[in-house]
Amino acid sequence: MEEKKTAWERLKLVHTKGRPTIRDYIPLIFNDFYEMHGDRFYGDDKAVIGGIAMLDGTPVTVIAQVKGRDIDENKACNFAMPLPEGYRKALRLAKQAEKFHRPVICFIDTPGAYAGVAAEERGQGEAIARNIAEFMTLRTPIISIVLGEGGSGGALALGVCDELAMLENAQYSVISPRGFASILWKDAEREEEACNIMKITAEDMVSLGVAESIIEEPLGGAHNDLDKISENIKEYLLCKIPEKCEKDIDVLLKERYTKFRKIGEFTE
Partner 1 sequence: MFDDFFNVVKLRFNGGDEDEVPTFKCPRCQSPVPMSRYEELHRVCPNCNYHGRLPARERIAITADKESFREFDADMISCDPIDFPDYTEKQKELRQKTGLNDAVVTGIANIRGITTVIGVMDPNYMMGSMGSVVGEKIARAFEYATENGLPVVLFTASGGARMQEGIVSLMQMAKTSGAVKLHSDNGGLYITVLTDPTTGGVTASFASLGDIIIAEPKILIGFAGRRVIESTMKQRLPEDFQLAEFMQEKGFVDMIVERKRMRATLAHLLELHGYKGKEV
The residues that touch partner 1, with contacts defined as CB under 8 A, are 113, 115-117, 119-126, 128-130, 132-134, 136-137, 152-153, 156-157, 159-160, 172-175, 180, 183-184, 197-200, 204-205, 208, 210, 257, 260-261, 263-268
Least distance to partner 1 from the beta carbon of 101, Å? 20
Q: Which is nearer to partner 1, 60 or 194 (CB)?
A: 194
Least distance to partner 1 from the beta carbon of 4, Å? 18
Least distance to partner 1 from the beta carbon of 103, Å? 19
The most distant pair of C-alpha atoms in the chain lies apart, rounded to whole Å, by 53
Q: Which is nearer to partner 1, 237 or 253 (CB)?
A: 253
Q: Which is nearer to partner 1, 44 or 134 (CB)?
A: 134
Amino acid of residue 12: K
Query: Which residues is 54 bridged to in the sheet?
Result: 31, 59
Q: Which is nearer to partner 1, 6 or 137 (CB)?
A: 137
Q: Which three-class secondary structure state does DSSP give residue 165?
A: strand
Least distance to partner 1 from the beta carbon of 51, Å? 25
Element (H, E) at 145: strand 142-151
Least distance to partner 1 from the beta carbon of 162, Å? 13
The string over 10-27, giving b where at least 16 C-beta atoms fall within 10 Å of a residue's C-beta and e elsewhere, is bbebbeeeebbbbebbbe
Q: Which is nearer to partner 1, 96 or 182 (CB)?
A: 182
Least distance to partner 1 from the beta carbon of 223, Å? 25
Q: Which is nearer to partner 1, 64 or 146 (CB)?
A: 146
CB neighbours of 70 closer than 8 A, spacing ≥ 6? Answer: 17
DSSP line for 56-77: TTEEEEEEEE---SSHHHHHHT
Least distance to partner 1 from the beta carbon of 187, Å? 14
Between CA 140 and CA 45 the distance in angstroms is 24
- The CA-based angle 133-137-141, given to 5 degrees, is 120
Q: Which is nearer to partner 1, 26 or 97 (CB)?
A: 97
